[in-house]
Amino acid sequence: MDLLFKAVTIVDSSSSLDGQTVDILLKDGRIQQIASGIEDENAQIVSERGLHCSLGWFDLSAFTGEPGFENRETLENFTKAAAFGGFTEVACLPNLEPIIQTRSAIEYFKHKSSYGPVKLHAIAAITHNLDGKDLSEVLDLKAAGAIAFSEGADSLQAEDTVLKALEYLKLFGGVLINRPENKKIANGGHMHEGTTSTRLGLKGIPSLAEEVQVARDLQLLQYTDGRLHLSQLSTAAGVKAVRKAKQHGLNVTCDVAAHQCAFTDQMVQPFDTNYKVSPPFRGEEDRQAILEGLQDGTIDTLVSGHTPWNEEAKELEFDLAEAGIIGLQTAYSVANETLASHLSSKALIEKLTVGSRNIVGLPLPSLTEGAPANLTFFHPTKTWIFDEKLNASAAKNTPFFGRELTGCVFGTYVNGQFTSNPAYQN
The CA distance from 94 to 123, in Å, is 6
Question: How is residue 300 annotated by DSSP?
Answer: -
Average pLDDT value for residue range 71-75: 97
Q: Encode pLDDT of 324-383 as tens digits.
A: 999 999 999 999 999 999 999 999 999 999 999 999 999 999 999 999 999 999 999 999
Report the Cα 368 to chain-centroid distance in Å: 26
Neighbours of 275 (CB within 10 A): 22
pLDDT at 344: 94
**DSSP single-letter state for residue 93:** P
pLDDT at 115: 86
Quickly state the pLDDT bin for 114 (edges 50, 70, 90). confident
Q: Write down the pLDDT at residue 39.
A: 95
| Average pLDDT, integer, range 171-180 | 97
Domain ranges of the chain: 3-53+369-425, 56-360
CB atoms within 10 A of CB 406: 16
How much is the average pLDDT of 143-149? Answer: 98
Q: Give me the helices (H) in 250-283, please.
A: none
The pLDDT confidence band at residue 68, using thresholds 50, 70 and 90, is very high
At residue 113, the pLDDT reads 85
Residue 14 clears pLDDT 90, i.e. is over it? no
For the full predicted model, state whether its pTM sits above 0.95: yes
Residues in the chain: 426
- Rounded-to-integer distance, Cα 120 and Cα 247, Å: 33
pLDDT band at 1 (very low <50, low <70, confident <90, very high): confident
Q: How confident is the model at residue 322 (pLDDT cuts 50, 70, 90)?
A: very high
Estimate to the nearest angstrom the gap between the alpha carbon of 320 and the chain centroid. 26
- The whole-number average pLDDT for the span 99-107 is 97
Half-sphere exposure of 343 (CA within 13 A, CB side): 30
For residues 234 and 208, the answer to whether their CB atoms sit within 8 Å is no
Three state DSSP letters for 228-244: EEECCCCCHHHHHHHHH
Confidence of residue 2 (pLDDT cuts 50, 70, 90): very high
Residue 425 vs residue 251, higher pLDDT: 251
Provide the angle, in degrees to the nearest 10, between the axes of the packed helices 208-224 and 159-169.
40
For residue 426, name the pLDDT band (cuts at 50, 70, 90).
confident
| Backbone torsions φ then ψ of 6, nearest 5 degrees | -100, 135
Rounded to an integer, what is the distance from CA 354 to the centroid of its chain? 13
Mean pLDDT for all residues in the chain: 97
Q: What is the mean pLDDT of residues 272-278?
A: 97
Asked if residue 253 has pLDDT above 90, the reply is yes
Superfamily of domain 56-360 in the CATH hierarchy: Metal-dependent hydrolases (3.20.20.140)
CA distances in angstroms from 403 to 337, 386, 387, 388, listed in the order given? 12, 6, 8, 12
Neighbours of 135 (CB within 10 A): 16
Superfamily (CATH H level) for 3-53+369-425: Urease, subunit C, domain 1 (2.30.40.10)
